Amino acid sequence: LDLELALRRALENDEFELYYQPKLNVNTGRITGVEALLRWHRPSYGMVFPAEFVPVLEETGLIVRVGAWIIDAACSQIAAWLAGGFGEVRIAVNVSSRQFVEGDLEMEICAALARHKVDASLLELELTESALMTNAEHTSEVLTRLRELGIRISIDDFGTGYSSLAYLKRFPIDKLKIDIAFVRDITTNPDDAAIALAIISMAHSMHMQVIAEGVESRAQLMYLRRHRCDQVQGFHVSRALTARQMGDLVTANR
């Protein structure tokens, strides 16, 4: 309950910050975009990671307002990087199911893009399978309209949900994100490797891109590149960075 109260104040007191973890194109060696990851600077505690408070945001419904803040902050950052000469950096934001069910996500996204004069193609949404399947009919309609605007759609933690693969036909999906659970032992565990390779193959057959998350070693990166995975994300490339650090990394990477 203390946590809930503190989170209610956090938005008003501007205690949230977006960090950014780069996604690397394994063929070009370039950073193709970043994932925005929420951090909370809780007074007299220090920095708090999402695992400790995002579930509370979701349970209490606060994620609807915080989610709107995240989208606005991401669009603001895209514009700032553009204005600062860092080029076009696509930002992927994580979206919770409650943001689709409650509130008006579509209106908020359009308003944020317009407010910051950002092209829709520079924004990407990451949804889990369970987020897609909650109120699937409505979610599919909203995503279809957002996709028509040029916004990219990714499936996060792919392969760990309980949904059937049938939804891949129903939703406008650009990219599958192989869950860290299959990446961790990809070079040593044949079952994990088989699953990861099946995901890569399926994604490409359906004209989707594929990214592996949680890549921590060069061996994992080389394995994934050899097997035609398009992008990687993880500590081997970089941890999540502040906007300033990320800007420097993008510049150095050019």
Instruction: Give the binding site for ligand G (CB under 6 A).
Output: 21, 36-38, 49-51, 54, 63, 70, 93-94, 96, 156, 180, 213-216, 234-235, 240
Q: Of the candidates 129, 156, 179, 230, which one interacts with Mn ion according to CB under 5 A? A: 156
Please give the angle made by the CA atoms of 91, 61 and 139, to the nearest 5 degrees: 60
Residue 94 — φ and ψ, nearest 5°? -80, 135
Q: Which is nearer to Mn ion, 58 or 82 (CB)?
A: 58
Q: Of the candidates 35, 129, 157, 230, which one interacts with Na ion according to CB under 5 A? A: 157
Q: Which is nearer to Na ion, 6 or 131 (CB)?
A: 131
The β-bridge relationship of strands 16-25 and 31-42 is antiparallel
CB 229 to ligand G: min, Å: 14
Amino acid occupying residue 254: R
Give yes or no for residue 124 binding Mn ion (CB under 5 A): no
Give yes or no for residue 233 binding Mn ion (CB under 5 A): no
CB 171 to ligand G: min, Å: 18
Cite the beta strand spans of the chain per DSSP E: 16-25, 31-42, 46-48, 90-94, 123-128, 152-158, 175-178, 209-212, 231-232
Residue sitting closest to Na ion (CB): 157
Residue 119's nearest CA partner among 153, 82, 68 is: 82
CB count within 10 Å of CB 15 equals: 16
Give yes or no for residue 94 binding Mn ion (CB under 5 A): yes
Residues making contact with Na ion (CB under 5 A): 156-157
